[in-house]
Amino acid sequence: MQLPRWFRRRRVGFGSRPVTWQGWLLTVLAVGGAIGVLAGMRGSSSRFPIAIVILVAYAIVARLAGGAEAEAPEPAAPIEVREDERIPPRARPAPRVERRAPSGPPALVVEHLTKRFGDRVAVDDVSFTIAGGEVFGFLGPNGAGKTTTVRTLGTLVAPTSGSAVVAGIPLEPGNGVAIRQRIAIMPEAPGLYLRLTVAENLEFFAGLYGVQNMHERIGEALDSVNLGARANDPCGSLSKGLRQRVGLARALLNDPAIVFLDEPTSGLDPVATREVHELIDRLRERGVTVFLTTHRLEEAERLCDRVAILNTSLRSIGRPDELRDRLFTKTLIVRTRAPLPAPEQLLTGVPGVDSWSSNRDGVYELAVSDAAVAAPAVARALVGAGSDILSLGEERHSLEEVYLELIDDDVEARR
């Protein structure tokens, strides 16, 4: 027999404690009944056995009503191994994933957004649009205005000027509650109550959100971050990585259309970081829009459909490959076994090659307009001249190089 969860097993001590009005009512009746029997049957030898029977019956009902059961449903995934017992996998570069551009109505439209604090300009005339289901990276140095932008779009602070539409709702003072019901914000520090269990934390925040079918939503959120087996653990006993995942579960309670993640992998080890990345990928698959602020440029390149680079004002926006093409000339690097006898004659006039240079023997840098056209033509020309090619490939500039090219000063130090 399994009654509704009126009680919960105590984390400290023995027995169960009531957590609903039904549990409290049953407790009052049991204690009152036992006291009434002891007081009303003075002199009777059976009063103590009757009182004990009442209390034992109460304990059995408390056990059946949730006191000995886990608060969350059984996890769909295998029971998790603690982080300190895991052996991190061998480091390997993140795979490059070709994704289709998100389509459909925009989830977020920002036009000329500006925020000033007194004489200081935190965000200056920023405009961008994010499609539904897109993972959008927001990059910039400390003090560039990233968190201020998130707080403004999350209705925590009012913009000085400009406008925005968040999850289809205009960013106006009267729409704050409606917007907050459609979004979720996870700050870098999750802000959990460490003496409460994982499930109790989520119950508290689900109550603030006014979540319907609370226990069902909590179970789904915990399963999505693979924490179903840890529902009854106090948050103070969890590692930072697991607390971060509890924060992510909390952000998913109200089934948001847009999730703002502020440095979600800050301070996490490689295993926990990978799990957060996998969760973001699953959110993308579900059509949830993710607004990601991060200092980890390789993380942005791995996860984001597009990135925006902010330094108070918006410096650039687009796919990482687009930003590379805007800032850097495409270059082929050719290595040959021996120096070319007459490289100026051999390389000049090859289709797609605009210019070439060589800083050391056998290594040539070719500026090209289209690598797909130039690379085969260069290979044919070198082989036809009898040169042995050791390698031929396109030089790829990292997102870090793009970032450093666009961010050339320390905003925070100047203030």
Copy the structure tokens of residue 257.
């259309």
Q: What is the mean pLDDT of residues 52-70?
A: 69
Answer yes or no: is pLDDT of 12 > 70.
no
Q: What is the mean pLDDT of residues 264-283?
A: 85
**pLDDT given at position 29:** 84
Distance of CA 369 to the CA centre of its chain: 37
Looking at the fold, whether 25 and 137 belong to one and the same domain comes out as: no
Looking at the fold, whether 116 and 261 belong to one and the same domain comes out as: yes
Copy the structure tokens of residue 103.
């389509």
H helices then E strands: how many in the chain?
13, 16
Position 399 confidence tier, pLDDT thresholds 50, 70, 90: low
More confident residue, 203 or 32: 203
Residue 117's alpha-carbon distances to 112, 127, 153, 161, in angstroms, are 17, 19, 16, 12
Copy the structure tokens of residue 175.
């729409």
Looking at the fold, whether 335 and 289 belong to one and the same domain comes out as: no
Please give the tally of structural domains in the chain.
3
Looking at the fold, whether 318 and 190 belong to one and the same domain comes out as: yes
Answer yes or no: is pLDDT of 75 > 90.
no
Does 179 reside within a domain?
yes
Task: Indicate left, alpha or beta for 310 from its phi (over 0: left) and psi (-120 to 50: alpha).
Answer: beta
Distance, in Å, from the CA atom of 287 to the CA atom of 283, rounded to the nearest integer, reads 6
**Burial of residue 263 (number of CB atoms within 10 Å: 0-12, 13-18, 19+):** buried
Looking at mean pLDDT, say which of 19-28, 152-161, 300-309, 344-353 comes out highest: 152-161
pTM for the whole structure: 0.62
**pLDDT given at position 74:** 39
Looking at the fold, whether 21 and 161 belong to one and the same domain comes out as: no
Tell me the pLDDT tens digit for each residue of 213-226. 888 999 988 988 88
Tell me the pLDDT tens digit for each residue of 162-175. 999 999 999 998 99
Mean pLDDT of the chain: 79
Distance, in Å, from the CA atom of 196 to the CA atom of 202, rounded to the nearest integer, reads 10
Looking at the fold, whether 125 and 198 belong to one and the same domain comes out as: yes
Within 10 Å of residue 84's Cβ, how many Cβ atoms? 7
CATH of the domain at 364: 3.30.70.1560
Q: What percent of the chain stands above pLDDT 70?
A: 81
Does 154 reside within a domain?
yes
The SS3 assignment for 179 reads helix
- For residue 350, the enclosing domain spans 329-396
**pLDDT given at position 398:** 63
**HEC letters along 149-213:** HHHHHCCCCCCCEEEEEECCEECCHHHHHHHHCCEEEECCCCCCCCCCEHHHHHHHHHHHHCCCC
Residue 389's alpha-carbon distances to 222, 368, 409, in angstroms, are 54, 18, 42
Looking at the fold, whether 302 and 340 belong to one and the same domain comes out as: no
Answer yes or no: is pLDDT of 85 > 80.
no
User: CB–CB of 303/285 below 8 Å?
Assistant: no
